[in-house]
Structure 1
Amino acid sequence: MNRFSSAMINHYKEQGSEHNMAIVIDGIIGAGKSSIGHYLSEALGMPLYQELKSDGDDSLAQRMLDRFYEAPERWSAIIQIMFLNDRFKDIMRIEAEGSRAILDRSIYGDELFARTIYDRGQMTADEFAIYQAVLKQMLTFIRVPDLLIYIDVSVDTALHRIAKRNRSTEGDLIPRDYMEDLRAHYEHWFEQYNLSPKIRVDLNESAFDESGQIKEAFSKQILQAVADAGYQRNR
C-alpha cells in the first residue's frame, strides 16, 4: 500500500523551520477531534477552527459528504479540493492575525484522506496528481504548526462515535475497510512526522464519562502534554 510520501514530508521541511501559531488536532473520522478541540479552546482561551463549519444537514460540506459517501468515485476529487481550500483559508487567517488558534484537522491529514481514496481506486491518477499539485503550491504560502496532537482510537471506537453523533447519512455509509485503510495511513504518517512537537493521545471509550465529557484524568494528561510543548492559557 502506498503511504504518505517521504517526498512530500521533505517538501514541508524545505519551507523552513518557522512555525505558525496553530495547534493542529488530527486523527481518523470519529476520533474525537472536535471534543478535544472544544476542550482545549476553553482551557487555553484560544479560538477553534473546525473542519465542518456547520453540522447542519443542509450545509454545503455535509451535502458534499453525503454525495461522496453515496458515490465516492464521482465526488472524491472535488470534495478533497473543497476541504483542502477551507483548511488553507483557515491557516492563512491564523497567520495573518498573528494569534494562537486550534485547528481540528491538519492540512497534512487532508492528504491522507486523498491518498486513501486514491489507493482504493476511488480517485483517478490524474485527479490525485492535480490534488497534490494544488497542495504543494499552497504549502509554499504557509508555515508548519507549533504542535500536532494525534488522536489515537480504534476503528470500532470511531465507528461507534460516528453512529452516536447521527450526522446526516455518514453512519450508514462509511465502510469499515475505508476506516481501516485511513487509520493505517495515519499511523504510518504520525511515525514519520517531524515538523513540530507532536503528542499521541489515546482517546478510546474509557476517556469519556457517561455524559460524553472527557474524564478529568485524561483532560489533565492532555493539558500537561500541551503545557510541556510550551502552551499556557491566553491572558
Structure 2
Amino acid sequence: MLGAGNHGAKHVAIAGNMGVGKSTLTAALAERIGATAYYENVAGNPYLERFYEDMERWSFHSQFTFLSQTFSQHCDILQADAVCVQDRTIYEHFHVFATSHLEQGLMSADEFATLEEHFLALTRVVPGPDLMIYLRAGIPTLIDRIRGRNRSIEANVQVEYLQGLEDRYERWMAGYDASDVLIIDTDNIDIHDVDQREMLLALIEERVAGRPAKAPFAKISRRRRAAAVSNAQSAVDHSSAALA
C-alpha cells in the first residue's frame, strides 16, 4: 500500500478513449495501492444523455459541465492526504473532446473559444498530475468493449466519432508535458483475466512508487510537471457560474 508520504505519485490520472477500460483500471488500481478513486461523474452531467441525442445542440453544455466537475475533483485531490487515482482529467475534456467536437463540426468556434478561456483559467490554478497513464486501444477493440458494457446512452455512438476522438488523443499525448506519462496498449490485455490484471497492476504500482518498470505493452516517458499554484479551490465557484 502506498501513502501520500511516499516518494512516488500522489495524483495518478488515467486517460483514454471511450470503452478503453479507465473506470475498471481506476477501481482495480485504487484497491491495489490503497488509494482514493475519483470517477468521471457521468450520472451527474445533466446534458450528456441529451448530447448523444443531439450532439451539435448539447456539445458545449456537456463539455463545460465535465470541465467544471473534473476541476472540482482536481482541487479535492490537491487537498487529500492519500494517493488518489482519477478517471479522466480536465485536460482530456478540452484537448480531446472539445477540440474533436470542433473538428467534427459538433461545436461552434465561439463555443470552443469560451471553453478554451474557461480551461486556461482553471489550469492556471492547478498543477498537472504526478503520473498520467494513457490507455490505448484500436477502434475495433473500443467498439467491442462499448457494446459489452451496454450503456443505453452509448447505443448510437458512431465509428467516425470514436475515430475522431482517437486521432485527437494521439495528437494530445504527443505534445502533453504536464506530468510523467505511462502509455499502455490494451488491445491484447483482458483486465478481467487474473494473471493479466496482476501483471498490469504490478507494472503500474512500480511506476506509481517512482520505480522504473518495463513491459512489452507499455511505454514510459518522463515529462515536465507543471508548477503548482496555491489557492486552487478559489476558482471552483467561479467556474460554475458560466452556465447560469
Question: Common fold, TM-score beyond 0.5?
Answer: yes
Which structure 2 residues correspond to residues 8-47 of structure 1 after superposition, within 5 A? Answer: 21-47=10-36
Give the secondary-structure state (helix, strand or coil) at the position aligned to 2:52. helix
Give the match for residue 131 of structure 2. 147
CA contact (8 A) 2:191 2:197 kept: yes
Aligned-residue offset at 1:203: 1.5
Which structure 2 residues correspond to residues 93-108 of structure 1 after superposition, within 5 A? Answer: 93-108=76-91
1:174 aligns with 2:157: yes
Match of 1:200 among 183, 200, 220: 183
Aligned-residue offset at 1:98: 4.4
One-letter amino acid of the structure 1 residue matched with residue 11 of structure 2: A
Alignment partners' CA distance in 1, 2:185 and 2:137: 6
Alignment partners' CA distance in 1, 2:109 and 2:211: 39
Normalised to the residue count of structure 1, the TM-score between the two structures is 0.80
Match of 1:68 among 51, 58, 74: 51
Give the secondary-structure state (helix, strand or coil) at the position aligned to 1:199. strand
Give the match for residue 203 of structure 2. 221
Identity of aligned residues (%): 31
Higher helix share: 1
Give the match for residue 110 of structure 1. 93
One-letter amino acid of the structure 2 residue matched with residue 77 of structure 1: F
Normalised to the residue count of structure 2, the TM-score between the two structures is 0.77
In structure 1, stretches of 5+ residues that fail to align are 1-19, 54-58, 231-235
Aligned-residue offset at 1:223: 2.5
CA contact (8 A) 2:32 2:201 kept: no
Give the secondary-structure state (helix, strand or coil) at the position aligned to 1:103. strand
Alignment partners' CA distance in 2, 1:206 and 1:144: 27
Give the match for residue 106 of structure 2. 122
Alignment partners' CA distance in 2, 1:42 and 1:208: 14
